[in-house]
Amino acid sequence: MTGLRERKKRQTRQAIAEAAMRLFAERGFEAVTVNEIAAAAGVAKVTLFTYFPTKESLVLSSVADDDVAKVVAGRRPGQSPLDALRRHYRAFAADPGDVEPEALITMMRIIVESPTLVAGVNGIQYSERLALTQALTGIDDCRIDDLTASLMAAQISAAVLTLKETFFNRLASGTPLPEAGRRLTEDVDLAFDLLERGFGDRFTR
């Protein structure tokens, strides 16, 4: 019975999310009401809020899936934060899992066309950077001051955001997912090489 209930919950959540994305894609995020989403998904409004506490979370819940601070905090003994993050993103590039390019493109279009969602994404990114700063200051074998941790977190966050944007833009331009993943592997190595060694040898006087 427990397995059946969990499957039913997943189906209900998916139905709500799919109905919301369909309506947002057709009319824009701001123009669609929660009542309309609930009706399209065949659920009560209170049921919708059980799975998604806000209208924004119908879109942004998937944006917050990648927890960079958790990757750093959960790295194996003796592994550096940058190595843990490099391996994390290389693993994603090798196996993007259930990424559906068309669905991703649709979601990103919905976000960029909505000031509310753009602000929400910015808020998520800021919170993730603060969490990463805390994770870096908590490293036992390498105590660093708050400013150093903040600067490191800012650079890592900017690099990761650029990697994600580049990956998305390739998919949006029609690059097949396997090819986009292969090129992402190369991008990940470039990004973390720069983070590890700095930019000095990239410039000539």
User: What does the pLDDT read at residue 1?
Assistant: 62
Q: How many residues does the chain have?
A: 205
For helices 115-137 and 146-172, angle between their N-to-C axes, nearest 10 degrees: 140
Q: What is the pLDDT of residues 94-129, one digit of tens each?
A: 988 777 889 889 999 999 999 999 999 999 999 999
User: What does the pLDDT read at residue 141?
Assistant: 58
User: What does the pLDDT read at residue 4?
Assistant: 79
User: What does the pLDDT read at residue 109?
Assistant: 93
The tokens describing 188, both together, are 């990940």
Give the other-Cβ count within 10 Å of 151's Cβ.
14
Q: What is the pLDDT of residues 28-73, one digit of tens each?
A: 999 999 999 999 999 999 999 999 999 999 999 877 677 899 999 8
DSSP, collapsed to helix, strand or coil, labels residue 161 as helix
User: What does the pLDDT read at residue 202?
Assistant: 53
Report residue 204's pLDDT band, with 50, 70 and 90 as the boundaries.
very low
What's the number of CA atoms in the CB half-sphere (13 Å) around residue 44? 3
199-203 contact pairs (CB < 8 A, 24+): none
Alpha helices in 28-114 (DSSP H): 34-41, 45-51, 57-60, 68-73, 81-94, 101-112
* Closest CA relative to residue 59, chosen from 24, 92, 32, 26: 24
User: What does the pLDDT read at residue 205?
Assistant: 44
23: Cβ contacts below 8 Å, ≥ 6 apart: 32, 36, 37, 40
CA-to-CA distance for 82 and 15, rounded, in angstroms? 38
Which residue shows structure tokens 């196996």? 95
Architecture in CATH for domain 2-57: Orthogonal Bundle (1.10)
Secondary structure E strands in 28-150: none
User: What does the pLDDT read at residue 187?
Assistant: 97
* Closest CA relative to residue 25, chosen from 40, 43, 12, 45: 40
Domain borders along the chain are 2-57, 62-199
